[in-house]
Structure 1
Amino acid sequence: MNRRFLAMTGAAAVITSLAACGGGDGGGSDTEGILEGASITVGSKDFDEQLILGHISRLALENAGADVTDEINTGGTDVARAALTSGNIDTYWEYNGTAWISFFQEEDPIPDRIEQYEVVRDRDLEENQLHWLEPAQFNNTYALAYQADAAEDLGSPESLSDLADIIANDPDLATLCVESEFSARNDGLPGMEEAYGYEFPAGNVTELDTAIVYSATADRNPCNFGEVFTSDGRVSALDLVVLEDDLGFFPLYNPSPVFTDEVYSEYGEQLDEIFNPIAEALTQEAMTELNERVSVDLEQPQDVAEDWMSENGFI
C-alpha cells in the first residue's frame, strides 16, 4: 500500500511534537542512565529489518543504563508475539497492520497512519495490557514486484489489478514466489486474491525463504512476480518494479516498540523519552538504507544499528 499521510490533529500532533524533541541532534544523549536498575529482555522477529530494530532497542536501553537480556531473533510473528504476551521477552517492534489484521482479525485497514496506530494501541492495552510506543515514520507493507527487464514480456503491469489479465490470458506467466507467512495470512496472499477477484493458478505459487524470494524474482526463476516489503533495500538494488496496491488492500505497517505492562508501568515515562525520537528518525529512506546495508551489502545488523544510533546522537 502507498504510504498515506493525512492532516494530523489533536493527539497526533502531540505525538509528532514530542518526537521532534529528540531527533538526530544528539538529544538522545540526555537519556544516559535514566534506566539504571531496570532489567529488560529484548526480542525481535527473524528477518533483517527486525534484527536491526531489535539491536536499536538493545543499544538504546543499554545506553540508558538498563541491564538488557538479548533475545533478538526470537522467531516469526506468532513466536515473537507469544514470547511477549507470556513475558518471556519484555519488548519487540511490531507493525500496527499486523496487529490489526492478524491479531485482532479485522478486515478493513485504516488508511491514516496515526488513526491506525491509535486504535491498535488502545485495543492492545485494553485487551492484553501491552503498551505501544509511538510508531516509526516508515511503512514496511507488503507488495508484489517483478524484474524491470521483464516488463515487456509481462505487458508492463503497473498495479495489482493488472495481474488479472495476465492470470486470465497468459497464466504461464503468472508465477509467484512468496514466503510462508504471506501465503497463509489473511493480510497476505489469500486476502489479496479475494480483494482483487483473481487467484494464481494451482502450482504457480512457490514458497521460499524471504531472502530467496528476492533473488528468485530478480532471476525470474522460478517466478516472474515476488512478494516484497516496501522498505527492503533489495527492491532498488535488484531493480524490481513494485506494483501499485490500487485497491488499497494492504494495511499500513508502521512499527512501534511494544512493551509489557510490568515494564512500562514502572518505566513508561523514561521509555517514551528514549524511543519517541528514535521512531521519528526512522523514516522510509533511513530504514531502506539500513536494510540495504544488511540484506545487500551483508553487514551485520548489530553493526548497522550501532552506526545509525551513533550518527543520530542516540548513543
Structure 2
Amino acid sequence: MLRNTLIRTAIAGVAVLGLAACGGGGDPLSSGDGGTSPAPSEVKSITVGSADFSESQLLAEIYGQALAAKGVDVKYQQNIGNRETYMAAIKDGSVHLLPEYTGAALDYFKKGATETEDDAAYNALKAALPAGLEVLDKSPAADEDTIVVNKETAAKYNLKSLSDLKAHSKEMVAGGSSEFKVREAGLKGLKEKYGVEFKEYKTLDAGGPLSTKALQTNQIQLSNFFTTQSVIADNGWVQLEDPENILPPNNIVPLIRTDHNGANISDVLNKVSAKLTTEALTELVKRIDVGKEAAKAVATDWLSKNPLS
C-alpha cells in the first residue's frame, strides 16, 4: 500500500533517530545520508495516507483534493491499517501526510502522557515528535474516543460513568478493536484507573459494523466508539463519563514529514483545519457510514461548499 514518487529527488536525507529518544519508542525515520533535511519552499507532489476507517479516509481525501486544487500532484495510500501500521509508513517515507488525532498520536509517541486539555495535548505532541515529522495547525474539529454501553445494559446496572462499571463488569462482555484491548484509552486504563475487568473480551473492529452489530444484539455490552459516529445516538447507546481522564482529547491534525512540508502545503492544510468543525465532520461521516456515499465524493462536496481562498 506504500509508494513514494518524490523522496529520492526532494530530499538529501532525514536523520536516523529512534523514537525512543523522543519518548515514543518504535523504528527510526528512514533516511538517506543521515542528515535532517529542511522543509522545501514548495512541494510539487505528495502521497497522502489514511487509517482503516471511514473518517480517516474522508480526511485524507479532503487534504488531497484541497492540495490538488492548488496544483500539487497527489497520490493516495488509503486504508493502510491501524496506527502502528500507518506510522511505519510515514516513518519510512512511503507516505508523506496523514490525518491524525492529537491525544492518540501523543500516546503513541509519548507513552503514559497525562495531558487532558486540548492545547496541552497538542503542544506535548509537537514536543514528542521525532526529527523529520511535524504537525500543522490543529483543527477545532475533534473526534474523541468514547466508551459506550447499550441502553439495556445502562438501564440494568444504572450506568452513567466508567466508575460505575466496577460493581458489574465481571458480568459483562466487552468488545471492539485489538487496540482497545491493550491501550490506556481502553481495557488497560479501565483496569488501572477504575479497577474494571470483564468476563470476556471479543476482538471485533474499531467502532465498525462488527462492533455495532454485537452491541445491538447484546453479544457484547460495552465497546469503544467515536464521538462523531451517529450510530451512538441512533441506537440510544450511553456514553459513559470518564472522571479519571483515560480518554485523551483528540483534535484533528495533519501529521507530515518535514521534507514534504512546503509553504504551499501548510497554507492549504491549515485553512482546511480551520474550516472543519465537529458538527460538520459528524454529518460527513454519517453520509459515508449510513448513506453509503463514497469518501471521495463527500470530500469533494465539502470542499465545494467551503472554499479555502
Same fold (TM over 0.5): yes
Q: Does 1:132 align with 2:135?
A: yes
Length, aligned pairs only: 267
Return the match for 2:204 from 202, 208, 228.
208
Corresponding position of 1:102: 108
**Is the contact between residue 106 and residue 128 of structure 2 (CA under 8 Å) also seen in structure 1?**
no
Q: How does 1:3-14 map to 2 (within 5 A)?
A: none
Query: Of residues 231, 235, 238 in structure 2, which corresponds to 1:238?
Result: 235
CA distance in 1, matches of 2:191, 2:289: 28
- 1:155 alignment counterpart: 157
Once residues 190 and 62 of structure 2 are traced to their aligned partners in structure 1, the CA distance between those partners, rounded to angstroms, is 32
**Structure 2 residue aligned with 1:117, among 112, 115, 122?**
122
2:42 and 2:264 in contact (8 A); partners too: no
Cα deviation per residue 1:202-234 (whole Å; 9 max; x = unaligned)? xx21111231112221221x1111211122222
SS at match of 2:190: helix
Deviations 1:71-114 (A, max 9, x none): 12222111111110111011001112122212221x24312211
2:166 counterpart SS class:
helix
The offset of 1:281, in angstroms, is 2.1
Q: Is the 8 A contact 2:154 2:160 kept in 1?
A: no
Q: What are the residue-to-residue correspondences of 1:221-236 with 2, within 5 Å?
A: 222-236=219-233
Give CA-to-partner distance per residue, 1:272-306, whole Å, 9 cap, x none.
Answer: 32112211222221111111111122211111111
The alignment status of 1:165 with 2:170, answered yes or no, reads: no
1:77 paired to 2:83:
yes
* Residue 288 of structure 2: aligned partner: 294
| Partner residue in 1 for 2:197 | 199
So what's the TM-score if we normalise by structure 1?
A: 0.80
The one-letter code sitting in structure 2 at the alignment partner of 1:188 is: G
Which of 250, 253, 258 is the equivalent residue of 1:256?
253
TM-score after normalising by structure 2: 0.81
Given that 1:157 and 1:163 are in contact with CA atoms closer than 8 Å, whether structure 2 keeps it comes out as yes
Tell me which residue corresponds to 1:14. Answer: none
Structure 1 Cα separation of the partners of residues 303 and 213 of structure 2:
30
Q: Distance in 1 between matches of 2:233 and 2:274?
A: 23
Letter in 2 for 1:53: L
Residues 42-82 of structure 1, C-alpha deviations (whole Å, 9 max, x = no match): 10111011011111111011011001111122221111111
- Of 288, 292, 313 in structure 1, the residue corresponding to residue 307 of structure 2 is 313
- Is contact 1:100-1:109 (8 Å) kept? no
In 2: Cα distance, 1:138 partner to 1:281 partner: 9
Structure 2 residue 63 is the aligned partner of structure 1 residue 57: yes
**1:42 has 2:36 as partner:** no
Instruction: Indicate the residue corresponding to 2:6 in structure 1.
Output: none
Segments of 5+ residues of structure 1 without an aligned counterpart are 1-34
For the structure 1 residues 151 and 200, does the alpha-carbon distance in structure 2 shift closer, same or farther, using more than 3 Å as the test? closer
Contact kept? 1:94, 1:255, Cα under 8 Å: yes
Q: Identify, as 1 or 2, the structure richer in helix.
A: 1
1:109-160 residue CA offsets vs partner (Å, 9 max, x unmatched): 3122112112211331xx23211011121222222112235433x2221010
Identical-residue share of aligned pairs (%): 29
* 1:23 alignment counterpart: none
Distance 2:197 2:151 in 1: 23
1:248-268 CA deviation, whole Å, 9 max, x = no partner? Answer: 11111112111111111xx1x
Task: Return the alpha-carbon distance in structure 1 between the equivalents of residues 66 and 250 of structure 2.
Answer: 22
Structure 1 distance, partners of 2:153, 2:196, is 22
Distance 1:198 1:70 in 2: 41
Greater relative contact order: 1 or 2 (C-alpha under 8 angstroms, separation 6 or more)?
1
Shift of 1:36: 8.2
Query: Contact (CA 8 Å) 2:109, 2:125: kept in 1 or not?
Result: no
Query: Which amino acid in the other structure matches residue 143 of structure 2?
Result: N
2 CA distance for matches of 1:123 and 1:155? 41
Deviation at 1:37?
6.6
Moved over 3 A (4+): none
The answer on whether the counterparts of 1:102 and 1:185 sit within 8 Å (CA) in structure 2 is: no
